[in-house]
């Protein structure tokens, strides 16, 4: 596998604070290529052989805005079994419904655009139903839960110019922890 040329913007870049725009179909060749390059990049970043060889930080999600492109597109790559990956291509997402229950990632959320350790918890919905368009522009609905629900919310925040660090209470990084479930 060859590492795709992807330039992920750092949190200091003001473009990351941009509201992404609705995507129209059909997708351009460039957008399709970038979607698949992002999937390959994220997959490689989770395989020890590649992340060691290319000095990658493991990541499971990437929004187009992190590549400097303000379009409502993100991809998520999840390792479902050792060396076996499932990916999601999400375009123009909208939350249809969500659980009352809140969860947070115990070891803390990370982001390929935030190159530092950040302490604190980010409240997220435990379950969500999301409507989106696939690569062909067809409308689909998906139910996500636990870590995939967190990943979807993290990437959807990117589309709205929000970084996970914005959701951590600066004065009390572990605020209301007892009201949420750790995953």
| Helix extents (H) in 16-173 | 29-45, 48-53, 146-159
Cite the beta strand spans of 83-126 per DSSP E. Answer: 84-98, 102-104, 124-125
Phi-psi region of 102 (alpha: psi -120 to 50; beta: other; left: phi over 0): beta
Domain ranges of the chain: 28-182
- Token pair 């368009």: residue: 133
Count the helices and strands in the chain (H runs, E runs).
Answer: 3, 8
Q: pTM of the entire structure?
A: 0.95
According to the model, what pLDDT value does residue 1 have? Answer: 82
According to the model, what pLDDT value does residue 78 have? Answer: 96
Among the listed residues 30, 146, 155, 178, the single catalytic one is: 155
According to the model, what pLDDT value does residue 85 have? Answer: 97
Q: Which of 73, 51, 49 is nearest to 61 (CA)?
A: 73
pLDDT along the chain (183 residues), means of 10: 93 97 97 97 96 94 98 97 95 98 95 94 97 98 97 98 96 94 96
Name the CATH superfamily housing domain 28-182. Answer: Peptide deformylase (3.90.45.10)
Whether 155 is catalytic: yes
């Amino acid at each position: 596998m060859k590492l795709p040329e992807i330039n992920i913007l750092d949190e200091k870049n003001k473009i990351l604070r941009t509201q992404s725009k609705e995507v129209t179909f059909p997708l351009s060749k460039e957008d399709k290529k970038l979607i698949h390059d992002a999937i390959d990049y994220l997959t490689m970043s989770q395989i020890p052989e590649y992340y060691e060889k290319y000095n990658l930080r493991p990541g499971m999600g990437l929004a187009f805005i992190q590549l400097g492109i303000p379009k409502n597109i993100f991809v998520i790559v999840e390792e479902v079994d050792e060396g076996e990956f499932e990916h999601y291509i999400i375009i123009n997402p909208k939350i249809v419904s969500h659980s009352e229950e809140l969860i947070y990632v115990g070891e803390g959320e990370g982001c390929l655009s935030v190159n530092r350790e950040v302490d604190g918890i980010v409240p997220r919905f435990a379950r969500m139903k999301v409507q989106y368009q696939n690569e062909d522009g067809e409308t689909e609905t998906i139910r996500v839960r636990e870590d995939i629900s967190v990943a979807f919310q993290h990437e959807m925040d990117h589309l709205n110019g929000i970084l996970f660090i914005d959701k951590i209470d600066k004065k009390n990084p572990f605020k209301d922890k007892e009201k949420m479930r750790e995953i």
